Structure 1
């Protein structure tokens, strides 16, 4: 079984997250995508954050509960570091092949994440185009460091078959939404 993990604050979850999950299901031939709601995000510590319960609920409302599932597993594990969470998942679900899903806006900081370089070597990664961040992302030090493990987009369904490191950049359809803009308009908090 192949499962994509889309981690994030989901402050709030929105149709852009679901669009990315649906793209991942198709492009990567996944059986499921888990929307992994983070209890906290060290890169967003200055932002006002809704409670974990509110953010998880916003993701659950959008997920279909079958192929796209919202989960608070990171909070249950007591981790807030992607690398540690993925290590727990791989240990607890040894028959599942996990693929980390992320928007291109997060790629420039990937090597700054806790054990970011180890994460790259431990799990296949699919990076999805996001409006306004693709050029910066592909020119970033993180992209330079992992470039030699990149596979062509046309081979995206084979991502992770031989393990990690392995990554792909998905250029297809972008949805121009952000949780920051939604909070500003709707006062989610």
Structure 2
């Protein structure tokens, strides 16, 4: 929140990733783990994607904007997702629809910075030193920031029931 100048964060627990062959664990279990892991007064863990019935991020963003027309949204993603964003359905709609904050992930910094999305939107990149301006920026602005990182994968976190996995 601080790095990107955000008032709040919604952690969207997705009903499923269309790019993954295996389906996720039960939604109730993933919501419980996410709520245990993230206990911050300005972070809301939500299953709104399941409630909206959206499958793809671009659809979710369109639905959120329709339901919350006065809210300025910023999409946050890990560098691993930026590295393969060009495989996502309507990925350009995402980049052109909301500012995007990219958080460094172990092993994905270089691939993210050299990704198709990073190359296509190179001129729209906000320098990390100006990351706090992202919340007020117009799309297709995006910003890549380095943060203290955990090597724990989401799979390991789910398996352990919390951040204790390494």
When the two structures are superposed, what TM-score results if normalisation uses the length of structure 1?
Answer: 0.79
Q: Which has the higher strand share?
A: 1
> Does 2:38 match 1:38?
no
Counterparts of 2:40 and 2:146 in 1: how far apart (Å)? 27
Counterparts of 1:50 and 1:162 in 2: how far apart (Å)? 36
What does residue 122 of structure 1 align with?
A: 97
When the two structures are superposed, what TM-score results if normalisation uses the length of structure 2?
Answer: 0.89
Runs of 5+ unmatched residues, structure 1:
1-24
The SS at the match of 2:148 is coil
Deviations 1:48-100 (A, max 9, x none): 52111111111122333620110000000001110111111111111211100
Report if the CA contact (8 A) 1:127-1:168 is conserved: yes
Q: Which of 60, 66, 88 does residue 41 from structure 2 map onto? A: 66
Report if the CA contact (8 A) 1:160-1:166 is conserved: no
The SS at the match of 1:70 is strand
Deviation beyond 3 Å, 4+ runs, structure 1: 181-184
Shift of 1:160: 4.3
Q: Which of 82, 101, 111 does residue 57 from structure 2 map onto? A: 82
Deviations 1:104-140 (A, max 9, x none): 0111211221110111100100011111111111112
Runs of 5+ unmatched residues, structure 2:
none
Structural RMSD (CA) = 1.8
Counterparts of 1:65 and 1:77 in 2: how far apart (Å)? 24
> Does 2:98 match 1:159?
no
Report if the CA contact (8 A) 2:15-2:24 is conserved: no
Report if the CA contact (8 A) 1:159-1:168 is conserved: yes
> Does 2:166 match 1:172?
no
Counterparts of 1:89 and 1:109 in 2: how far apart (Å)? 23
